[in-house]
Chains A and B, each alone.
Chain A
Amino acid sequence: MAPLPISPETGPQAVLEILYSLKVRDAMTSPVISAGPRDSIRDIQYLMRDNNITGVPIVEEGRLVGLVSMGLVIQALDSGRIEQSAGELMTRMVISLEDDMPLAFATTYFNRYSYGRFPVLNRDGVLVGIVSASDIIRAMLIAMNKEVERLEAELSAAAAAAADRPSDGRVRLLFHVTRFDFENAGKASAEFKKALKGLEIEAGTVRRAAVAAYELELNEVIHSEGGTIGLVAGEGRIEISAEDRGPGIPDVEAAMTEGFSTANEWIRSLGFGAGMGLPNAKRVSDDFHIDSGPGRGTKVGVLIKY
């Protein structure tokens, strides 16, 4: 097999990026075939047969109230209860996923519970889809193909950029940041801090740079589809630049307001999403500029003088 056209350095990163950047809604089947609690198990058996599916969520007034699996239909057949209603026999303890969750989280549910599929709810608790293990694998494969194409383009662009970069004795660092990769969140900032200490820059200034770098790095982890964060330092100037691939900030002015946040509950539960990120980064900067809008990436540049 021909080797993939990705460098050994970025290869594993690419696979990680796929896992973290895909959401449950990217893999789920939607609209989902569902039934009501008054439908009989027989009706549901026909629904499964006609649609070639193995699990049917039971919905009442838009709310998920239970689930009937193929196994339950067989049990009902076996015990002569096939004409009873779904409401009587369905599994009521249904584990569901949120459409906003990264696929990386969803895969842990498949490991933790022995179910073949999970209903998917949106933020308002409305059933919006259903996801099986094979849905996840299919979504991963499609994304992997796209990622290979993107990496090819990125690598040739990087090679072109490296070719005409002057060496001027300044420290330059560049890190890739992956969406929802909270495992590695803060690593780029830690490396920046080390590099700045190496330049013997005074501790207060290093702290300001660390604050800006950390906030911009975490913003990419929490809100972007992935991006890069770079440092250029030396000769009295620390420049930190964050660039991501989207989705862009619809209202930059609101995003710059302390307390404004679009982060969801599970991100807030980790202690993020307090709406302090961009204001913090701006406060520690001598010069701060941001360029963003829906449908394009966000670019943030921070300058700290010393």
Chain B
Amino acid sequence: MRISELASSLGLETAQGAYADREISSGYASDLLSDVMANAAADGVLVTVQAHKNAVAVASLVGLAAIVICNSRPLPEDMIEAARSEGVAVFRSAENAFEISGRLWAALRRP
């Protein structure tokens, strides 16, 4: 699945849509940025409640394809700006990390 298919496939709201579209490798759900830094795979999707700039910095360092913010957490403008300048896609959902991860897991395994 490609980044551009995430929103429709998982029912997400697109918060930052300026990115280079590419194939998604995997997903990672965590709210600890050190954990993401150490263990998330490049080109993966991060599912988290950490709606702030530092999540974008970590995503960019790891080379993540996208961030999905769950529980309808408010997105600060400086986070969206940072994501735009780093080319990291940001989506948002009213669902929790468990629900989103479940959908993502299923979608990534669909042939």
Alpha-carbon gap, A185 to B54, bound state (A)? 7
User: Interface size on A (CB < 8 Å)?
Assistant: 23
B108 interface residue, CB < 8 Å from A? Answer: no
- Chain B contacts with A in 20-43, Cβ cutoff 8 A: 31-35, 37-38, 42
Give CA–CA (A183, B35) in the complex, Å: 20
Chain A minimum-CB-distance residue to B33 = A271
User: At the interface, yes or no: B55 with Cβ under 8 Å from chain A?
Assistant: yes
Chain A binder among B7-15, B57-65, B67-75, B95-103: B57-65
A92 contacts chain B at the CB level, 8 A cutoff: no
Say whether A186 contacts B34, CB under 8 Å: no
- Residues of A near B34 (CB, < 8 A) are 215, 218, 272, 274, 276-277, 280
Are B33 and A203 neighbours in the complex by a CB distance under 8 Å? no
Surface stretch bound by B, among A50-58, A157-165, A206-214: A206-214
A residues less than 8 Å from B55 (CB atoms): 271
A211 touches B37 (CB 8 A): yes
Does the CB pair B32–A182 fall under 8 Å?
no
What DSSP secondary structure best describes chain B's contact surface? Answer: helix
Q: Are B38 and A271 in contact, with the CB atoms below 8 A? A: no
Binary B-proximity of A274-303 (CB < 8 A = 1, otherwise 0): 101100100100000000000000000000
Task: Establish whether residues B61 and A186, one from each chain, have CB atoms under 8 Å apart when the complex forms.
Answer: yes
Interface: A190 (CB within 8 A):
yes
Inter-chain CA distance A303–B78, complex, in Å, is: 34
Contact B54 A270 (CB under 8 A): yes
Q: Which residue of B lies closest to A276 (CB)?
A: B34
Q: Is residue B16 contacting chain A, with contact meaning CB distance below 8 A?
A: no
Asked whether A270 lies within 8 Å of B52 as measured between CB atoms, the reply is yes
Q: Are A207 and B32 in contact (CB under 8 A)?
A: no
CB pair B61–A189 under 8 Å, yes or no, is yes
CB closest chain-B residue, reference A183: B53
Count B interface residues, CB 8 Å: 21
Q: Are B35 and A182 in contact (CB under 8 A)?
A: no
Determine chain A's interface SS by DSSP, over half rule.
helix
A214 and B42 alpha carbons, distance in the complex (Å): 16
Instruction: Please give, as numbers and ranges, the residues of chain B lying within 8 Å of A203 by CB-CB distance.
Output: 42, 63
Contacting pair B38 A280 (CB below 8 A): yes
A23 within 8 A of B: no
Q: Is the CB of A276 within 8 A of B35?
A: yes
| Chain A residue with Cβ nearest B32 | A274
Instruction: Return the chain A residue nearest B57 by Cβ.
Output: A186
In the complex, whether A193 has a CB less than 8 A from a CB of chain B is yes
For B50, the chain A residues whose CB sits under 8 A away are: 270-271
Q: Annotate A164-207 by CB proximity to B: 1 below 8 A, 0 otherwise.
A: 00000000000000000011011101100100000000010001
Contact indicator B42/A207 (Cβ below 8 Å): yes
- The residue that A190 contacts in the complex, of B32, B33, B38, B57, with Cβ under 8 A, is B57
Within the complex, what minimum Cβ distance (angstroms) separates B36 from chain A?
Answer: 8
In the bound assembly, the distance between CA atoms of A193 and B78 in angstroms comes to 22
Contact of B32 among A187, A189, A271 (CB under 8 A): A271
Cβ contacts under 8 Å, A211 to chain B: 37-38, 61
Nearest-CB distance from A215 to chain B (Å)? 7
What residues on A are CB-neighbors of B52 within 8 Å? Answer: 182, 270
In angstroms, Cα B50 to Cα A186, docked, is 15
CA distance A167 to B8 in the complex (A): 54
The answer to whether B37 and A214 touch across the interface, beta carbons within 8 angstroms, is: yes
* Interface-central residue, B31, B33, B55, by most chain A CB under 10 Å: B33
Residues of B within 8 A of A218 (CB): 33-34
14 further contact pairs, Cβ within 8 A, besides A270-B33, A274-B32: A183-B78, A185-B57, A186-B54, A186-B58, A189-B61, A190-B57, A218-B34, A271-B33, A271-B54, A271-B55, A272-B32, A274-B34, A276-B38, A280-B37
23 intermolecular pairs with C-beta atoms under 8 Å apart: A182-B52, A183-B53, A185-B57, A186-B54, A186-B58, A186-B61, A203-B42, A203-B63, A210-B37, A210-B61, A211-B37, A211-B38, A214-B58, A214-B61, A215-B34, A270-B52, A271-B32, A271-B48, A272-B33, A272-B34, A274-B35, A276-B35, A276-B38
